[in-house]
């Protein structure tokens, strides 16, 4: 099956009474037919459901997990209550007991706080590097390095890391490569096929696509997720970051249109990036699909499905012009001023005062997150309506 078909048909198990659409197993616990069956399930001799937090959890977990594993070319997947729960549990699991992790210098805001402030209190160590250059990864590796954690493209500056080159280096040293693939989605980029070991998603974003849940998922080998001692499933059972069955059901429903949505996100974003590049009010457009992107060649190599729906751009001027533009745009169009991304609807935000406001200004500027940088999650509305909304707001700056 191709990826759009997989998103619709893979993993849709459990059809009691012939229900075509999978039911919601909105239950906390499961009854057994006999004591013998209960004993076999608890001993691990038989695969079965016992309690929605424990082990395999719930049939709705399993359906979402199988589908997403299929999309990422993974052996298996494990669903969590949020993207942050998936990241936190994975990173703690691989670096428990004072392990070191090398990670990109620009990360999703909460990942950055988790790695720089919270997990160091538990004795985990992190080095932040500019992951555009694979040699930087090498230089940061220490004796206790357990993993390399990458986001590509990064948020909000859309810098890329060469997943294959970094995975090749890591393999020699037996270091795990973890990729947060939320921005690209498996439609466009499949890190496991390039040599990475673990892929994490905020399923809140493109996978669900409808903005009605918070959810996360980890894709990896069966051994890492379920079989080894200290498996991620064991951590999920005992630390407890499980989603609700209903959220898993909504995720699976959102995935029905995954292929169509991604195709439209890709097409709309590429057209809009080209349009923005030609506007006199715009200073610079950052989009991996543009020839002007410094890593466009790498993007073509590793983002095989398309370049995604995320665009960042800078306006000419500073805070004043940025504010005027945003006020005009949200007042006169359907475009929402909101954090988050990957929804069917177009969303826009200003990182300096919203998603990345907690970073001190100097540090922010070093990462090229300027006051006039705008981040855009291009939706699947009719392209012409999106372009016209932007044209009107940009023309008001003249």
Ligand X SMILES: *Cc1c(COP(=O)(O)O)cnc(C)c1O
Query: Measured at CB, which residue is nearest to ligand X?
Result: 83
Q: Which residue has the tokens 């390399």?
A: 148
105 catalytic? Reply is no
Contact string (CB under 6 A) for ligand X, positions 191-230, x = contact:
-----------x-xx--------x-x--------------
Catalytic entry in 205, 236, 261, 364 = 205
Q: Is 82 in the site for ligand X (CB under 6 A)?
A: yes
CB of 339 to ligand X, least distance (A): 8
From the number of C-beta atoms within 10 Å of its C-beta (0-12, 13-18, 19+), residue 69 rates as: buried
331 catalytic? Reply is no
Catalytic entry in 108, 187, 206, 287 = 108
| Nearest alpha-carbon partner for 95 in 128, 138, 124 | 124
Q: Quote the tokens at residue 269.
A: 């974003």
Q: Is 157 in the site for ligand X (CB under 6 A)?
A: no
Between CA 43 and CA 279 the distance in angstroms is 65
Question: Taking CB under 6 A as the criterion, which residues in 38-67 touch ligand X?
Answer: none
Q: Which residue has the tokens 């399993």?
A: 62
Count CA within 13 A, CB hemisphere, residue 246: 5
Residues 146/170, Cβ–Cβ less than 8 Å? no
Number of residues that bind ligand X (CB under 6 A): 16
Between CA 187 and CA 261 the distance in angstroms is 10
Stretch that binds ligand X, among 23-31, 156-164, 178-186, 233-241 (CB under 6 A): 178-186
Beta partners for 201? 217
Pairing of strands 347-349, 336-337: parallel
CB of 151 to ligand X, least distance (A): 6
Question: Taking CB under 6 A as the criterion, which residues in 11-30 touch ligand X?
Answer: none
Stretch that binds ligand X, among 176-184, 220-228, 303-311, 361-369 (CB under 6 A): 176-184
Q: Is 180 in the site for ligand X (CB under 6 A)?
A: yes
Among 25, 49, 61, 108, contact with ligand X (rule: CB under 6 A)? 108
223 catalytic? Reply is no
Q: Quote the tokens at residue 62.
A: 């399993």
CB of 17 to ligand X, least distance (A): 33
Stretch that binds ligand X, among 77-85, 225-233, 261-269, 315-323 (CB under 6 A): 77-85
Distances (CA, A) of 133 to 142, 166, 194, 295, 335: 18, 9, 17, 11, 36
CB of 184 to ligand X, least distance (A): 10
Q: Is 182 in the site for ligand X (CB under 6 A)?
A: yes
Q: Is 155 in the site for ligand X (CB under 6 A)?
A: yes
From start to end of 122-175, where are the E strands? 125-129, 145-151
Q: Is 84 in the site for ligand X (CB under 6 A)?
A: yes
Stretch that binds ligand X, among 1-9, 76-84, 125-133, 376-384 (CB under 6 A): 76-84
Evaluated on CA atoms 77, 80, 84, 86, the torsion sign reads negative
Catalytic entry in 12, 40, 53, 253 = 53
Q: Is 183 in the site for ligand X (CB under 6 A)?
A: yes
| Nearest alpha-carbon partner for 375 in 342, 331, 332, 398 | 342
CB of 327 to ligand X, least distance (A): 25
6 catalytic? Reply is no
- Going by C-beta distance under 8 Å and a sequence separation of 6 or more, which residues neighbour residue 44? none
From the number of C-beta atoms within 10 Å of its C-beta (0-12, 13-18, 19+), residue 1 rates as: exposed
CB of 30 to ligand X, least distance (A): 27
Plot region of 308 (φ>0 → left; ψ -120 to 50 → alpha; else → beta): left
Q: H-helix or E-strand containing 199?
A: strand 198-202
Question: Taking CB under 6 A as the criterion, which residues in 285-324 touch ligand X?
Answer: none
Work out the widest C-alpha separation in the chain, in whole angstroms: 77
Q: Which is nearer to ligand X, 41 or 232 (CB)?
A: 232
Q: Which is nearer to ligand X, 41 or 186 (CB)?
A: 186
Which residues here bind ligand X, judged by CB under 6 A? 82-84, 108, 110-111, 151, 155, 180, 182-183, 202, 204-205, 214, 216
Which residues are the active-site residues?
Answer: 53, 108, 180, 205
């Amino acid at each position: 099956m191709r990826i759009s078909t997989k998103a619709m048909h893979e993993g849709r198990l459990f059809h009691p009474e012939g229900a075509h659409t999978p039911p919601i197993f909105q239950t906390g616990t499961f009854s057994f037919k006999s004591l013998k069956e209960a004993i076999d399930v608890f001993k691990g001799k038989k695969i079965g459901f016992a309690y929605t937090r424990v082990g395999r959890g719930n049939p709705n977990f399993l359906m979402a997990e199988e589908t997403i594993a299929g999309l990422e070319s993974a052996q298996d997947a494990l669903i969590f209550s949020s993207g942050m729960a998936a990241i936190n549990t994975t990173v703690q699991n691989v670096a428990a007991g004072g392990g070191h992790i090398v990670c990109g210098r620009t990360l999703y805001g909460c990942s950055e706080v988790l790695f720089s402030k919270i997990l160091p209190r538990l004795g985990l160590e992190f080095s932040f590097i500019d992951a555009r250059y694979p040699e930087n990864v090498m230089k940061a590796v220490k004796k206790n390095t357990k993993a390399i954690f990458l986001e590509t493209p990064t948020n909000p500056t859309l810098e890329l890391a060469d997943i294959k080159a970094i995975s090749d280096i890591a393999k020699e040293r037996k270091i795990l490569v973890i990729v947060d693939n939320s921005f690209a989605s498996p439609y466009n980029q499949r890190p496991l096929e390039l040599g990475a070991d673990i892929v994490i998603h905020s399923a809140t974003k493109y996978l669900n696509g409808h903005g009605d849940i918070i959810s996360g998922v980890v894709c990896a080998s069966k051994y890492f997720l379920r079989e080894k001692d200290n498996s991620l499933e064991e951590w999920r059972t005992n630390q407890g970051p499980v989603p609700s069955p209903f959220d898993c059901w909504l995720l699976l429903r959102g995935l029905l249109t995954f292929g169509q949505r991604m195709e439209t996100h890709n097409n709309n974003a590429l057209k809009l990036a080209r349009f923005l590049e030609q506007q006199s009010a715009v200073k610079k457009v950052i989009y991996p699909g543009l020839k002007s992107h410094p890593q466009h060649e790498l993007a073509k190599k590793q983002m095989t499905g398309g370049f995604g729906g995320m665009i960042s751009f800078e306006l000419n001027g500073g805070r004043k012009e940025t504010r005027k533009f945003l006020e005009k745009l949200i007042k006169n169009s359907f475009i929402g001023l909101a954090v988050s991304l990957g929804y069917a609807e177009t969303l826009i935000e200003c990182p300096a005062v919203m998603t990345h406001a907690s970073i001190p200004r100097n540090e922010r500027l070093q990462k090229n997150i300027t006051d006039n940088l705008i981040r855009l999650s291009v939706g699947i509305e009719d392209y012409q309506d999106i372009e016209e909304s932007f044209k009107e707001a940009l023309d008001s700056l003249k």
